[in-house]
Every structure is written in C-alpha cells, then in structure tokens.
Amino acid sequence: MVTYSSISKKGIVSDVKDALDAGCRFIQYREKRKSTREMVKEAQILKNICKNKAVFLVNDRVDIALAVDADGVHLGQDDMPVSFARRLLGDKKIIGLTVHNVEEAVEAERMGADYVGLAPIFKTDTKEDSGDPCGVEVLERIRSKIAIPIVAVGGININNVEEVIRKGADGVVAVSAVLDSDNVYSGIKDFIRVIKEVKLR
C-alpha cells in the first residue's frame, strides 16, 4: 500500500494499521506536502507500526529513509539515480524505481534496482502528472525482458487486477480503489484474495 494523506479518510496511520491487519506486507510512505521534520516524525511512527509485519519503504526521499532506517526507498525517474541511492543506503536496502516503458525497465534492472513500479497501467486521476497509460501489453513485454519483480501502478481496481497479474505483475498498487473506499481493510482483503487466486491457477 502507498499512503496518500490527501485522499485518506481516516489518516495514514489508521490506513497502514488496517492494511497490515488485512495482510498487506509492503507499505510505502508517500508525502509531498509536509516539512522534512514532519515527515521524519511520521515515517518513524509508520516504521514502528510495520516492524516485523511489513517491508517499509519511503517514496523519493533517501534522506528520510536513512533517518528512520527504513527498509528502502522507491524512486522516480527524476529522483536520485539508483546507483547513488545504493551507495548511500547499502546493499541490504530495497530500491524500487518507477518506469514507464520497456527501455526504462531494462535500464532499471541493469542499474541494480530491486524491483520496478510500472506506471500508469490504466488511466488514473490519483497522480496528476502520471502520463499516458501504457496498458497491459507493455507490462507483458517488460515481464519477458527482466527478472526482477514488477509492481503495476495506476488505475488498478478489483475488476482489472486479475488481468494485470496474469500479464506478469508480481504485485499492484491500488490507491484510489482502496483509500476512496469506506473500509480500507476490506478493500485490501479483496485485492489479496484475487491476487492469490490468480497465482494459484
């Protein structure tokens, strides 16, 4: 799950607790509006909640990840290069990178990223600058080119998640489909159930 304070109905701490209770094992802290001091405080709280329950990543901010000893970071194409982040974080931390096409995905693996987040798969209103959807066809092509895990992002909902997993995604991020609902716990439970069913076939 990726936290979004701007659309959260009960607050991100509540969202993360519900996500963990539902079985989510990857939490990414994403915050664009708060000060660094506020982010460090919030990230520390979330990291403590996730301890021994889930992998805790920080979006974009390598400094915040270092400050709270997060499990890793998720970077965008305009953020610190993977090689520099690796130098700062060390070999034991997880580094993910957002990619939009086959070329970026192949390069991400070459640079040492531990996983890629392919975005956006479908049209999404959650992130204003997300760009044009790449579709499941690009996902399928990337799956044939790289060995590291692929997380599908953008416009993912309970009706299309099965196709996304079948086409090669190892996991998904479904922000609005989960956080816009009145019950984060149930929303995540539903996604986990469908994903497990597809992978068992």
190: its two tokens: 């539903």
32: its two tokens: 């664009």
Q: What is the pLDDT along the chain (201 residues), one digit of tens a residue?
A: 999 999 999 999 999 999 999 999 999 999 999 999 999 999 999 999 999 999 999 999 999 999 999 999 999 999 999 999 999 999 999 999 999 999 999 999 999 999 999 999 999 877 666 689 999 999 999 999 999 999 999 999 999 999 999 999 999 999 999 998 889 999 999 999 999 999 998
User: Residue 112: which of 134, 124, 95 has the closest Cα?
Assistant: 95
- Ordered by start, the domain boundaries in the chain are 12-200
CATH for 12-200? 3.20.20.70
Which stretches within the chain are classed as H helix?
Answer: 12-22, 36-50, 62-68, 82-89, 102-111, 135-143, 161-166, 175-179, 184-200
Under DSSP, is residue 86 helix (H, G, I), strand (E, B) or coil? helix
Please give the Cα distance from 69 to 126 (Å, whole number): 28
Q: Under a CB-based contact definition with an 8 Å cutoff, are residues 1 and 26 in contact?
A: yes
